[in-house]
Amino acid sequence: MTHDWRTDRIGSALRGENPTVLRRLTAGFAVIGDVQFLPGYSVLLADDPKVERLSDLPRAKRLAFLSDMDHLGEAVERASRRLDPAFRRVNLEILGNTDGFLHAHVWPRFEWEPADLVGMPVWLYPGAHWADAQFALGPRHDPLRKAIADELTDLRAEA
């Protein structure tokens, strides 16, 4: 039976079928986002699809997930800073309002963003940014994917 990784992101990652996976981390999977209107957007997926919220995890696994989120955030920051001199910062968010599984968003932010959006939550970007094919993850993002994955490897070696 063929599974659509988009409808089973964690299961497909566990099976090695999710093409967005950058690295397996301690408590989850670092993946690059489906949309890249802010280049480097990544997500940390918990490694258990039944886990809906951070508080569902036992304390040790909860701390491991938060540590993984920190590592992915730092990897995106390092890669973004190296690839774009207009890099500003990274925003980290655990929301869970749309997808019912535990995940954390890692959003790089840049000086070139529109003035009315640069200081606002990324969710206020126009809907077209989320669906426009020009922002869809694709082969042109391979150097960015590699840069983030390499930073994750380097951070693991530094630990």
Beta carbons of 91 and 122 less than 8 angstroms apart: yes
Q: Please indicate, yes or no, if residue 72 is contained in any of the structural domains.
A: yes
Q: Please indicate, yes or no, if residue 1 is contained in any of the structural domains.
A: no
- The parent domain of residue 73 ranges over 9-147
CA 90, distance to chain mean position in Å, is: 11
pTM exceeds 0.75, yes or no: yes
Q: Please indicate, yes or no, if residue 159 is contained in any of the structural domains.
A: no
For the chain, the distance separating the N- and C-terminal CA atoms, rounded to the nearest angstrom, is 40
Q: Each residue's pLDDT tens digit in the chain (159 positions)?
A: 456 888 789 989 999 999 999 999 999 999 999 999 999 999 999 999 999 999 999 999 999 999 999 999 999 999 999 999 999 999 999 987 788 899 999 999 999 999 999 999 999 999 999 999 999 999 999 999 999 999 999 998 887
Beta carbons of 71 and 106 less than 8 angstroms apart: no
pLDDT at 4: 81
Q: What is the CATH number of the domain that holds 128?
A: 3.30.428.10
Q: Please indicate, yes or no, if residue 152 is contained in any of the structural domains.
A: no
pLDDT at 149: 98
Q: Please indicate, yes or no, if residue 20 is contained in any of the structural domains.
A: yes
Over residues 72-103, the pLDDT tens digits come to: 999 999 999 999 999 999 999 998 778 889 99
pLDDT at 1: 47
Rounded to 5°, angle at Cα 157 from 155 and 158: 65
Task: Count CB-CB contacts under 10 A for residue 121.
Answer: 11
The count of structural domains within the chain is 1
pLDDT at 3: 61
Q: Please indicate, yes or no, if residue 158 is contained in any of the structural domains.
A: no
Look up residue 62 and give its two tokens: 């909860």
Q: Please indicate, yes or no, if residue 89 is contained in any of the structural domains.
A: yes
Q: Please indicate, yes or no, if residue 23 is contained in any of the structural domains.
A: yes
